[in-house]
Every structure is written in C-alpha cells, then in structure tokens.
A and B are shown apart, each in its own frame.
Chain A
C-alpha cells in the first residue's frame, strides 16, 4: 500500500468520526419522533399540501406522516428556511431527494433515524499570501471564491480570512504574479500560499468597456500601459507620460506649463476633433486632463480598435483611454510620500539664429538696391544713406529716430514715460551688438511636486486618499502652472459583501498664469501673436529696455511692427486662469443571484473656472495704444453621467465561461460662461485695484453657453471555451442631441475572436512557448463631436453682425441668419478591422505583440463651405460626405532578463514601433480639395482626396533663377527675378500660377518608435526612455517673417548664405525689397524634415534599506531616492525651436505647422518616495 493511500484512508476515517462527533454534539438539539424502521419508511408515500413551506414545518410534517425520526442541526433550519416542493405526493425517499438536494442537504439512514447533513459546511478559512521568491507578505492580493463574488484582498501583512464551503476553489490573483487556485478542504482552515512572480503579466486583470478581463483573455487591440513606467517620468499631465508607452499612440507635447499634450490613437480618424474619449473610474470624460494627478493612477488602458472601443459607441472613433485610479487595500494605513524638485532649462542650442544689427542693416539695404528701389527716409534716418551704412547710437528719442537723434534729443531730462501719447517721450539706445530675444524670454524654471497618499481599510470598507501639489514654471518667463489636488476613493460592502457601494472623487484647483494662461487654447501661447511669434520678428537692434529701464520697442521707424516679447510676457504675468474641478462618481452594486450583479453609477463633472487678463499701454510699440484693460471671465461646465449595468457571469462545466452585460447610460452637459471687460483704469499694475467697476471705458459683457445630451443602451457578451477560444461581441445604440430627429440614433456593433494556440494539446509540448494568441476584431464606432444644432437654420441678433444705425444715431438691432442647416446630418462612422497576435516565450523572457489594422471612416462630417451666394458670411453646415482611411501596423517587443529567477541584476527592454498611413479618401461630391491653414498670406495645408490629412500645399521650389534669360525663358510668374525662388511648372502650361501649387510635404511620420530600458541591480534602478519620429515633414512658417521682406524685423542668419551672383549654389533666395507675393507664397522652401530622436527620460534610483537607516521604530517602510533628467538630448535636422509641433486650429486641424511653438525644456530633478 502506498503511503498516499494510507493517508487518504486515515483522512476518510477522520472525516467520518468528525461527522459523528458533530452529530453527537448537536444531538442535544435534535427532535425525536416515533421510532419506526427507517429504511422502510423511505418507501412510504407522503403527501404535501403546500408548494412552499418552511423547512421546519416540512420536516415536522414528514415526521408525522412517516413516523421516522429526523436528526439535524438547527442551523440547517436557519439557513434554509423555505423550501419549494414540486411533487405533492410521492414516497418519502423521492420527496427528500427533491427537496433537500437543491439546498445542499443530504440524508442518511442510521440507527433508524434519518440524519440530515448540511452537505458543505461553511467554514472560516484564512491564511497568508507571500512572494514565493522573497517570502515577503503580499498585500492587496485578490482571494476570490470561484464563480462567486465572495472575495477579499489580503491586508498589509498578506493575510486574508473569508468564509467558504468545502470543495470551493479559492482563486488567488495578483498583478505581476502567476495566479493560483486552491480547493478548500473541509478539514483545513489555514492556507498559506506563495505566489510566483510572473515574468509575463498575462494574468493581470484589466478594465475594459464596463467590465474587466484578464489581460490574456483580451480579444481586441488594447494597449495596457505599465503604470510604473509611467511614473518614472515626471510630467504635469498623465497623458504626457503616456508618450511612447503604448504602440500606435502618438503624443505630441509642447512645453507650456500645465498643457495637455495632443494624443492621437492610430492616426487621424477625422478632419474634426481627434481627441480620444477618456473613461475615468467608469465615467466617460472628454476634454483636457491637466487636473488629473498622475500619481493617483492605478492603471491605464488604451482601447485602440473598434472591437474594443465600440462599447463606447458614438464617442469612440478616436479610441478610448481607460483610467482607473487607486483603490483602497485592506489593512493598516499605508502612507506614502512622493516628492521631487527639478529645474527645466531651455535648449538654447535650438534657438533660431538671427542676424546682428550690422548684417541686418546691410542685408536690408542690399534688398532695396537689388530691387532698384530707394530706401525710404525711415531707413536712411536709421542707418544712413548710400552705401556707407552705420548703426545709430540711439533708436528713438521723442519723435526722432536713429541718426536724427541729437545729443539734445537724447537728454534724459526730456524722458517722459507716460500713457499719454502726446507727451510720451522715450529714449532708447540701439543695441548694436544685437539682442538674442530667445535667450531673453526664456530661462530656467523650477518644477516641484509633492504627493501624499494613504490607503487601507477593513474587511468591509477600504479607502484611498491622496493630496498633492504640483508647481511648474514655464521656461518662457512669467508663465507657470500650479495644481492642488485631493482625491478620495472609498468602498464599503454590506450584507455579507452582497451589496457594495462607494465613491471615487477628485477635486483639483489649477491655476495658470502668465501670457496665454489659458493653455487649453494653444493660439494664445504659441503662434504669431505670442511672445514666441514676436521673438522671430523683433529686430535684434532693439534692446529689451530703454535708457530708464522701461521696455523698448519698435516705435520710431524701420523697426517693423513686432511687439517686444519681454514686455508682453512681463505685462501678462498677472493674467490668470483658474479652475475648480470636481470629477467623480458614486456607485452601488448588488449581487442579485450568484453571478448576476447590478450596478449603478452616477458620475459628475463640475468645473468652475475663472480668469482675468490685464492689458497695459504699450506706447513703445510701433502700433501701440495707451489702452489699459481688464477682462474677466467666469464659467462653469457640468456634466452628469448615469450608468446602469447588469452583469452576469457564469461558468459551465469549468470549460465554458460566459459573461453577459447590458446597460443604459444617460449623459447631459451644460456650459455657461460670463465675460466682462473694461478699459481706462486710473492706476496701473495694482492687482487690488483691478476690478471692472474701476474701468471707465469700453464696457463690455457677454455670455455664451452650450447644452447637450446623450442616451445609450448597450450590451456585451464574452465567451471563452477552455481558455482556448475566446469570443466577444458588443453593441451600443446611442442617441444624441447633436442630431435632428431623422438621424438621432446610431447603432455600433462589434465582435472579436481569439484563439489561444498555446492552450491546444498539440502545442503543449512546445515548452518554450508560454502563450500564443491570435486575435481578429471588427467593429463600428461613431463620432458625434461636431458643433451642436447643425440640423437647424439658426439666426442671430447681435450688435456686431446685425445692427444698424437706422435712425442716424444710436443703433437698432436686427436679425441675420448666421448658420445654415443640414437636416440629415448624422454620425461619422468608423469601421475597423484588426488582426493581431500576442506572444510570450521562454517563460516570459520575451514577449510582444503585433497588430495590423485598417480603419475606415465613412460619412465623415465635413463643413463643406458653400459659396457666398448661398450662405453669405454665415456658417455652412456639416455634411456627411467624406471618407478617411488609416492603415497601420504596430509592433511591441519586450525582453526581460533576470526576473523569473530573481537575479540581482535584472533588466527590461521594450521597443514599440508603429506605422500609420493616413489617406483622405473622399471629401464631398465636387469638392476635390480644400486649402486651409491661413497664416498671414500663406495657406499652408490642403485637404485633398487621395492624400494624407493635413498635407502641406504650395509651390514646389525648383531652385533659384540664375539669370534674366532663365526668367525670360520661363516658366515664371509675375515678378519673377534673378535670385528669387523658381517653381516647378506642375501644370505644364509654361507659366507659374496657382494651378502649379501641389502637395509639398506630409506631417505624418513614416513611423514612430520608442525604446524603454529598465535596469535593476540590487537596490539600484535605472530607467531610460527614448522616443522618436521618422519621416515627417514640418512646415516652418516662421520663415515667412525671418527669410523675406514681408515685414521689417529680424532676419535669419540663413540669409547670410543667400543666393548672389557669387554664391550661385545657394538654395536660399536673395532678399528683395518688394518681392512678388509669389516668392513668399506657400512653397517647399518652408518645408523641413521633422524627424527626431529624443532621449525623453533618464532616471536613476536607489532604494535605501529603510530598516537599517531609520530603524524599525520609525515606521519607515520604504525609501527610494532618485535623480532624473528629461529631454537630455534631441537629434534632429529641424531648424525650428522644437521638432514636436502640436496642431494649430483653423477650419480643420493644421498639423505640423510651426508658427512659433512653445519648446520643451530640458529638466533635471531629484526626488524621493517614502512609504510609512
């Protein structure tokens, strides 16, 4: 006899005697009836009169009828009081079986009695979960009774207790560890479990649309972001840190403090809004994310294809980013503090180089001579006449300029810096050495972040709270961002964990200050009207300050009409934009029957924002005014989302897993904003004085608002067979107030299947293969994000557009039609096919995935501009006419060394590469192209069928005209000249005219890539992260100012190498006063290669042996200190400030056009994480 056998027998014996003992012990409470022969009694016919009866009555009744004594524990009666009876008359045996079996009671005839035994006794089990490698307790491990909602998380010491029945299976799972299943043995109460860390994270449970799945069961294209990696990169916005972490997700950041970068998931799906939908703790959110604290994020998933995202229906075209914030973990409070301090500095090597004043004057003079023009008196007053140019000592003294200024004029006694234009007398010395304006307006800027969090809880309630502060100054002076945030997530369970409710809530206060303080509107801090735009335009001969320390400027002559960018920045230092932002939800969940859970969640977004802008007189500016102004605004946005779901999970025969979900969702939003402004304040610069009442002129006020609502029903089914074949189907029907009755509703179905090859028997032999899964998904999503009420003709009664002084004086307000309708306007639809494969080999040493997709947007909403004869100056409606396509591939590869056997030296390498090919397939009938992106007289961009969205458009430079003969011979244009740009005759008609404009570049990269390296050696860790973009073009629109004589201003040093009769090889046109507008028209001269490779992040950390350093008494659990650097280096040939150029807004998004962008700084920082 084998040893196991003996033990089994002993065990059985023990169990029997245990039951006996139990029976004896409960015998005290048993009821005795008449003694009869029990076996015979079982054949006796009994009849029951009620269909539903209490167990106690039932048993008593049977005792009377059968004359047999029942022996049972009173607890049986308690737990199953009522029983259902199906057969009214039968023999006792059958009746007992029928009634008792469903309630898990079996009977036994013994000693002429019938013993009733609760089949599976509920027992209290508990234990401890530890890391199999380190033997350290693991807190927060999920211990769940399979196929029930009965579960718990381990506490701080890794311990758990719960009630289970014999033969139940406990499922123990924890992110980063291989899950275990343990069968509950009725005789065993303590289960100590050691979990092996997984080398792959396939067991990780991720949140998808309205439910959650194991990562390995995913059938759609979902990028699961490694949140730890995310955290190693300091960023004001969680989105920024996402850069390069998920394949197929392109993030373009700019350096403005607090700005939310631009995120594009699998390219541009529409010519309209391309921002993804965020789902934060189950509540959909559209908008910027600067309010969200990165440290609060527990997990982040990007749903990329329609099969994953279409459960979010009409808002899912641009992909969905699911964010789950940190939840409480049972146990004593765990407190942690994260803090860092750093300094950002501008990458001064990338500053555009401008000519010094001497070169500038010479080049400007030559540009007149070249054009046979005479420099005007303003020029000669500044630099002298004839070929003998000099630099003036003074730029301005009163109304004298340059060389006109006599020592008497420059007498400081005359100086009068006033806001009265009549007596304003400024004296400004020339900066003959030249001012480097970029250097002046940028400087080092500190960043600091302090985050404190705590979590813990008991069996029935858990909490996680956090609070923090982030302060980020901009590298452009006098700009910055502050954020205070507070979060509280709690969950409470009741009725034996069958009812759960809780809340996730965040409040944050953010404040932007300085020029363009409204970072959600890029135009204000970038582009030509910003300090950056003017830094390209202001002549270098102008000093920052005049002789008395007030701002110098372009007043006078020959200095163009740029503003002094420093004056703009300084004067805007008190401009503020503040936001009180609340976002959260309350939810309740109840388990109705086993596996069936109803959930309701009410989410609320409430933002109350306000801000002010102060304007100062700027008489030093050529087009200055003495106005000083204050404008203020106040507004709020509310949006509530009420979601109700029913979720049913069932497991049949262990092999079939089915999850069904049905739900409804209602969303309503409203925004309202009040603006006011005034001019003429008695004193300037005093913040205590700046109230609207104190202004006396230009009294304005306005208010605007929007409303919208959505109502949806949706369903979802996930099925898996033996973990081998996975199937998922979703459908959503959305109704939106954005559309008229004709097309109010849209339906968005999707389905996906996956085959886990590695689970097949024939693959089991391949030991090296840990996991291999093929996926195919197809689905339809929608986009409803267009301006509201396109289905209605709308009229406007306004002072600006429809008012007339019909009575001669005063005004009478009338009405005009400002918007024209399209009653049939409906959803954009995106059909997407995704084929992918996920693999993990060598027990997790290598892993990766590959996806191919084809996304086709149809019925694309396109505001086909109608001719003026139809709509005048009114807005043309959106029509569903366009098609757009994105095809692409994504590849992720990972290599993990030393993790599975816990070597002291470990490292991970992760590589992401993705390629997306965009094509505008169709615009509108009869509309083959649409030129847009106006920037001064340029129109940079075109929408054209067959070309990528946002393609650059203009003339193709074909060299420089070398001789009059060449100009004469053509092809040429009006005003063509020797030394000027020569264009290709694309239309072939012998002349250069607008018909020769063509596609001259694409803002879309051939591919984007990123590389992450994480190294660990004992207590040290190093994280490195690189990202890049290859093959995209950028449109350096600032050349409009710096390379031509369109405006008097700064000239790029590029022109030092311009074409001349002695430098005929140059491809830079010579400077020519009064050049034809063809010369500075949109052309390939502006197009530059935008490829770059950037070391985005480097962080080196050290885990202090906390016990040794602080001793056990202090309670310091963990301490890590680190140093880091971001944007350490950038490799690019791009000549502008920064190769990351976020889109500008025009009729449609303008991609990759650099009109003066806020560059990203280089940051060095030190930080600490402490756990208590």
Chain B
C-alpha cells in the first residue's frame, strides 16, 4: 500500500513536471521585439524611421562611425585636394592611407563605410517587406496614399545608400526587399547597380508629393527626389535628362541670392529654404549624442580651442590658396594661386633671439574670396564667436597637417549649451547637407554647358558668386582681415572655360562638404588634379609626398572582410 502510494506520488509528480516542461522551456527575448509584434502600421512607420536613422552613418554610438559620416569628410575631402586627415601621424593611421591613396582591402574605414550603407539598405528593404505583409494581411492597413508614400520614402533612402556605397566602391552587390537573407549573402558584385538606383529614384520622383508626411522636415519628398535624380543622372553624364529635374528644384525655390550663405552652417537656421536634403542631427532628449553629428566629431580642434578634441580634417594649403582671387575678383582658374602661396605662420619657429612664430602678424592685404573665412579657420581671423583663431594652440601637430582648421562643421559657442553633448561637446546637433540649393545651381550649370547654353550656366554661377559678395567681412580692430573680393564672371569665353569655371566654383562654394573627390572622379580629372595637388602640397607637408594617384584609386578596394564573408561571391575591384 505504502509502496503504491509512493509510486503514484512519484508518477504524478513526474507527469506534472513533464507536462509543464513545454511551456517551461518557452522564453521570450528580453527587451527586444519579434516580427509578429511589428507586422502592423506602427511597425512599418517604425521601420521607416529606422531607415532614416542610418542617414547619419552611425550605428554604434560615439567614436565609431567616421568613414561613413554623412559629410563624407574622409572619402570626399581628405582623399581629394581640399584637406588633410589632420591630428598627428599615429592617430587613426589607416586614415593616413586613405589620404595617401594607399588603401588596402583591410583598411577599417572601408568596412565602416560599406557596412553602414548596407545597414541602411537592409532597413529600407525591411520597411518595404513588412509594408507588403501588412497590406496583404488581415489587420488594419494603410490607405493607398500613405502606402505609396512609404514606398517612395523607403526607395529614395535606399537609392541614397546605394549611391553612397557605389560612389566609393563602384562594383557593389544589389539586393532588394524580395531577396531572403540566405540568398543575399551570396549575391555577386558583377551587375551594374545604377539602373536599380535609378528605378528607385524615378519611383520616388513620380510618387512622392511635395508635402511631407506629418509635415516633418526630415522626410524626403518630391523635391528631394528631383534633386537627387538630377544629381544621379549628372553622375551618369546624362546632363540632358538631369536638367529638367534640377530646374524644377530651382524653380520651386526662392532666388539663391536672397538666401544667406551662412544659413547653411548655422545651427539656428537649419532646414531653411536652401536646404533640400539634410541629415537631421539632434541631441537626444537625455543629452546623449548618438543621433547628433557623430561623423564629424573628430573634426574639432585640439589644445585650447573652446571645443577640444582631436583635430582632424585640416584644410590644405592648396584649398586655402584657391580662394585667392585676381584683381578682377575672379578665381585663378589657371592654377596661378599656387604661386607665392599664403601659408599663415607655418614653418616659423621661435628661437631664443627671435620669436618669429609668436610675432607673426596676419597679412590683411591678400585678395581672398570672402567664403574662405567661412570655410577655413586661420591664425588671426575671428572664428565664429569663438574669438580669434590663435594658430598652433588649436592644432595638434601643425608640422604634420598644416596651420588651418575647418569651419563648416562647427557651431557657435553661444549654441554649445543646447546643441552639444555635455562632456563630449564635439558632438553637436548640426545638420549635414546632402544636397543644398547652391549644389543644384552648379549642377544645373554643368548641364547647361553640356547643352551649349553657356549664358544660362553663367547666370547660375554668378548667382552663387553674387551671393558670396554679400558675405559680411571678417574684421579685426575695425579692419577687414583680407582684401575680400568676389565678382561675377563677365562672360564665359567658351565651353571649356565655362566648365572649368563651374568646377572651380563648385570647389569654393562646397569646399569641405564632401563632394570634391567624387566630383573629381566623375569629371575624369582625379589623377591629374590630385597628383598636381600632391606636388604642390608636399613642399609643406610630408604626408602628401608619397601620393601617387592612379586610375584604380578612383574606387576603393572592396573590404576584405566582406569578400571573405560572401564566400567568394564578391570580387575585388581591379587593381587591388
């Protein structure tokens, strides 16, 4: 009896344990979501925000995503003739190799750029995929207008990420929302992705409205699609197709002469009329900076500067001198600006009997385009509201990267309190322009030249120059710090002259905004310009001495990690 009792007890005990074990072993992820939880309208909107969220190139928090910065300061500027990596030799040594055009496939900057772009693409694809699921499902659905708008937004963003990664690597693999993960892993990079990018852009242009969803300024709309499509077509040398789109943008916007140049780099004037597509940066509600301008955080100065950081992105001697103008207030298109260059206090040394460096005085008689002092910080010139730029005291290693600092990615000291991350003030809330109106003017000008319409081209360029002439002069002690002068072109002599003038204007107007290297490559002049630049610049800085730009350097090697992970599906670019 007793034994029986025990066995019954034991058996029922076992039964209870065994029967509950199924649910016992079912646990749910902690603090994470699964697909069934987001396959609804809110989920799709959330995924779309997630797709926008990669615009700032940052996924890991601070100190991680520099190469993928929306400003493209590394691949767009340091790699061109506008800027040096800056800081000192040992800091981010792999960036030195980008500057010197000696990238190996294991350079971590390549992997960062590639990975962040594809993260953006995956997010766009997921948005489109779940949108389709929701629309095909039983639950609550989007109305057709919003559904197509979401598609337009997601596809425009996808085009953007593909365009970014294509510009750097050229031969890139393509997946859309229909390709499952397992297949995506083995997609080769031997198919031209440009038609797919164009499809997305055209879809967005055709389907998006000018009105933004919820009137949220950060959303992309028809205007963005037109500008982007124009830019994209220009990159394909389809100027005739590009022009109508660019012109629609120009027509839809106020005359650029009425819009101050400085608004583009003023944190209090963000999303103004000139802004077309800008990456929205903001300090998080909790004061942290993951959604702020992380990509440019290294580009704050060193030493005693109000924001002391790392001292990257230092303008080149070549860039600074290209702002010099002739007596007519025109740029020195023939490269004459390299003669007798202005070098600030570079090379001066304090000695016991002669403190030449300390005594250095700014030469205020040099004829400069006024945009110089809104682009470059140099000794003796007021720098925003930070005071007068003191020279080496703001620079980590002037012997390594020169005496200049960059302006456009910084903000006013008065704005530090609300627009920087406490403790890490080099992370600011400043937006970064992807496309602004001046860019569209100059792109349209290129199209006019191709169409043989030099006059319209000149009008557009001159509009930019006339606006530059209105820039307030930087003053010290009541006198301007330079003989500022900028004048419109009286005429474009011939198409080559016009082309050259527009290209020079693009450099001056958009300097350090991440366009330069890509422009040089699409114009087919990268090797000439960069090698010429190196032979000038190396007189001052050793870092430029070993530059030997070859045509293969127009695109970077596919990151080795990606080739390895693709199981051989990805092939390395020629020459690497």
Chain A 731-773 interface residues, beta-carbon cutoff 8 Å to B: 735-737, 744
| Cβ–Cβ contact B30 & A711, under 8 A | no
Q: Does B59 contact A (CB under 8 A)?
A: yes
Contact yes or no, A866 B181, CB < 8 A:
yes
The stretch of A130-138, A815-823, A901-909, A1092-1100 in contact with B is: A815-823
* Contact flag A873-B119 (CB < 8 Å), given A697-B422, A803-B53, A804-B55: yes
Q: Is the CB of B25 within 8 A of A700?
A: no
Check A711 against B286 for contact (C-beta < 8 Å): no
Asked if B118 and A680 sit within 8 Å, CB to CB, the answer is no
Does A374 lie at the interface of the complex (its beta carbon under 8 Å from any beta carbon of B)? yes
Q: Is the CB of A793 within 8 A of B34?
A: yes
A592-B6, A807-B216 known; 18 new pairs, CB 8 Å cut-off, are A404-B350, A557-B396, A699-B287, A705-B31, A713-B18, A737-B27, A788-B27, A794-B32, A797-B46, A799-B284, A802-B53, A803-B49, A803-B291, A870-B184, A872-B115, A926-B568, A975-B102, A975-B546
What chain B residues lie within 8 Å of A592 (beta carbons)? 3, 6
CB <8 Å contact, B24 and A668: yes
- B310's nearest neighbour on chain A, judged by CB, is A623
Could you list 16 A-B pairs, sorted by A, with CB under 8 Å?
A644-B13, A698-B288, A744-B25, A796-B33, A801-B290, A808-B280, A813-B46, A814-B49, A816-B123, A866-B181, A868-B565, A873-B60, A1046-B90, A1048-B88, A1073-B89, A1074-B542
A862-889 interface code vs B (CB 8 A; 1 in, 0 out): 0011111111111000000000000000
Which of A805, A819, A869, A974 sits near B218, CB closer than 8 Å? A805
**Does A1047 contact B286, Cβ atoms closer than 8 Å?**
no
Q: Which 4 pairs of residues, A with B, have the shortest CB-CB distance?
A: A376-B399, A814-B49, A872-B119, A926-B567
Q: Which residues of B line the A interface, CB within 8 A?
A: 3, 6, 10, 13-14, 17-18, 21, 24-35, 37-38, 43, 45-53, 55-56, 59-61, 88-91, 93-94, 96-97, 102, 104-106, 108, 114-123, 126, 173, 175, 181-182, 184-185, 187, 214, 216-219, 270-271, 280-282, 284-288, 290-291, 303-304, 306, 308-310, 349-350, 357, 392-393, 396-400, 421-424, 542-543, 546, 560-562, 564-570
A1130 adjacent to chain B (CB < 8 Å): no
In the complex, chain A residues whose CB is within 8 Å of the CB of B119: 816, 868, 872-874
A593 to B122, CA, bound (A): 65
Q: A680-B422, A707-B27, A793-B34 are contacts. A868–B284 as well, Cβ < 8 Å?
A: no
B397–A795 contact, CB under 8 A?
Answer: no
Complex partner residue of B14 from A377, A664, A707, CB under 8 angstroms:
A664
Residue of A nearest to B173 (CB): A869
CB of B399 within 8 A of CB of A814, answer no
Contact mask for chain A residues 438-463; partner B; CB cutoff 8 A; 1 contact, 0 none:
00000000000000000000000000
- Answer yes or no: A658 CB below 8 A from chain B CBs: no
Contact of A1109 with B by CB under 8 A: no
Partner of B47, one of A679, A815, A937: A815
Rounded to whole Å, the gap between the CB of B282 and the closest CB of chain A is: 4
Residues of chain A within 8 A (CB-CB) of B60 are: 800, 873
CB contact under 8 A between A706 and B32, given known A679-B423, A803-B284, A1045-B90: no
Contacts of B287 in A (CB 8 A): 697-700
Are B108 and A937 touching (Cβ within 8 A)? Answer: yes
Per the bound structure, the CA–CA distance linking A372 and B561 in Å amounts to 35
A809 within 8 A of B: yes
Task: Find the A residue at minimum CB distance from B218.
Answer: A806
Asked if B290 and A866 make an inter-chain contact with CB atoms under 8 angstroms apart, the answer reads: no
| A817 neighbours in B (Cβ, 8 Å) | 122-123, 126
Q: What's the least CB distance linking A299 to chain B, in Å? A: 30
* Cα–Cα distance between A797 and B175 once the two chains are bound (Å): 24
Q: How far is the CA of A223 from the CA of B261 in the complex (A)?
A: 78
Chain B residues lying within 8 Å of A793, measured Cβ to Cβ, are: 34-35
Rounded to whole Å, the gap between the CB of A83 and the closest CB of chain B is 14
Of B27, B48, B304, the residue contacting A814 (CB under 8 A) is B48
- Pick the residue among B114, B291, B309 that contacts A804 (CB under 8 A): B291
In the complex, identify which listed stretch (A337-345, A378-386, A503-511) lies at the interface while the others stay far away.
A378-386
Chain A hits for B291, CB < 8 A: 799, 803-805, 811
Query: Are the CB atoms of A399 and B393 closer together than 8 Å?
Result: yes
Complex CA–CA separation, A371 to B565 (angstroms): 38
B residues near A644, Cβ cutoff 8 Å: 13, 17
Task: Give the chain A neighbours of B89 by CB distance below 8 A.
Answer: 1045, 1073-1074
Tell me the complex Cα distance, A625–B45, Å: 39
Question: A795 touching B175 by the CB < 8 A rule?
Answer: no
Is B290 within 8 A of A664, CB to CB? no
Where the two chains meet, the residues of A that have a C-beta atom closer than 8 Å to any C-beta of B are 371-381, 385, 399, 404, 421-422, 557, 560-561, 592-593, 598, 623, 625-627, 629, 644, 646, 664, 666, 668, 679-680, 697-700, 703-711, 713, 735-737, 744, 788-789, 792-797, 799-820, 864-874, 925-927, 929-931, 937, 939, 974-975, 993-994, 1045-1048, 1073-1074, 1077
Residue in B17, B32, B108, B290 whose beta carbon sits within 8 Å of that of A819 in the complex: B32
A711 to B96, CA, bound (A): 56
B515 to chain A, nearest CB (A): 23
**B35 proximity list for chain A (CB < 8 A):** 793, 795
Is there an interface contact between B560 and A994, defined as CB atoms closer than 8 Å?
yes
A975–B548 Cα distance when bound, in Å, is: 12
Across the two chains, which residue of chain B brings its CB closest to A371?
B542
Q: Is the CB of B286 within 8 A of A700?
A: yes
Contact of A993 among B10, B104, B284, B566 (CB under 8 A): B104
Q: Which of chain B's residues have a CB closer than 8 A to the CB of A744?
A: 25
**Contact across chains for A868 and B115 when beta carbons are under 8 A apart:** yes
Q: How far is the CB of A1050 from chain B (nearest CB, A)?
A: 13
Which residue of the partner chain A has the closest CB to B89? A1074
Contacts of A820 in B (CB 8 A): 181
Alpha-carbon gap, A598 to B117, bound state (A): 62
| List of B residues within 8 angstroms of A864 by Cβ | 565
CB pair B43–A808 under 8 Å, yes or no, is: no
Cα distance A804–B34 in the bound complex, in angstroms? 21
Query: Do residues A794 and B34 form an inter-chain contact, with CB atoms below 8 A?
Result: yes
Assembled-state Cα–Cα distance A797/B282 (Å): 17
Contacts A866-B181, A872-B118, A873-B59 given; indicate if A807 touches B217 (C-beta within 8 A). yes
Q: Is the CB of B218 within 8 A of A807?
A: yes
B120 touches A872 (CB 8 A): yes
The smallest beta-carbon distance between B115 and chain A, in angstroms, is 4
The answer to whether B285 touches A811, judged by C-beta atoms less than 8 angstroms apart, is: yes
CB distance from A628 to the nearest CB of B (A): 9
Contact of A802 (CB < 8 Å), options: B50, B116, B304, B397: B50
Task: Establish whether residues B422 and A711, one from each chain, have CB atoms under 8 Å apart when the complex forms.
Answer: no
Across-interface contacts of A800 in B (CB, < 8 A): 59-61, 288, 290
* Residues of A with C-beta under 8 A to B349: 377, 380, 385
The answer on a CB contact under 8 Å between A872 and B217 is no
Q: Are B115 and A706 in contact (CB under 8 A)?
A: no
| Chain A residues within 8 Å of B282, by CB | 805, 808-811
A869-B121 in contact (CB<8A): yes
Residues of B within 8 A of A376 (CB): 88, 397-400
Taking the nearest CB of chain B, how far is it from the CB of A439, in angstroms?
Answer: 26
Interface centre among A385, A792, A795 (most CB of B within 10 A): A795
In the bound assembly, the distance between CA atoms of A700 and B392 in angstroms comes to 36
A737 vs B214: C-alpha distance when bound (angstroms): 43
Q: Is the CB of B281 within 8 A of A805?
A: yes
Shortest Cβ distance from A1038 into chain B, in angstroms?
15
Residues of chain B within 8 A (CB-CB) of A626 are: 423
Contacts of A788 in B (CB 8 A): 27, 29
Given A735-B25, A1047-B90, CB of A795 within 8 Å of CB of B32: yes
Contact assessment for B286 and A804 in the assembled complex, using a CB-CB cutoff below 8 Å: no
Cβ contacts under 8 Å, B175 to chain A: 869-870
Q: Is the CB of B285 within 8 A of A810?
A: yes
Q: Are B52 and A806 in contact (CB under 8 A)?
A: yes
Q: Contact at B25–A737, with CB atoms within 8 Å? A: yes
Q: How far is the CB of A463 from chain B (nearest CB, A)?
A: 29
CB distance from A692 to the nearest CB of B (A): 13
A633 to chain B, nearest CB (A): 16
Chain A hits for B90, CB < 8 A: 560, 1045-1048
Contact A994:B280 (CB < 8 A) given known A698-B287, A806-B216: no
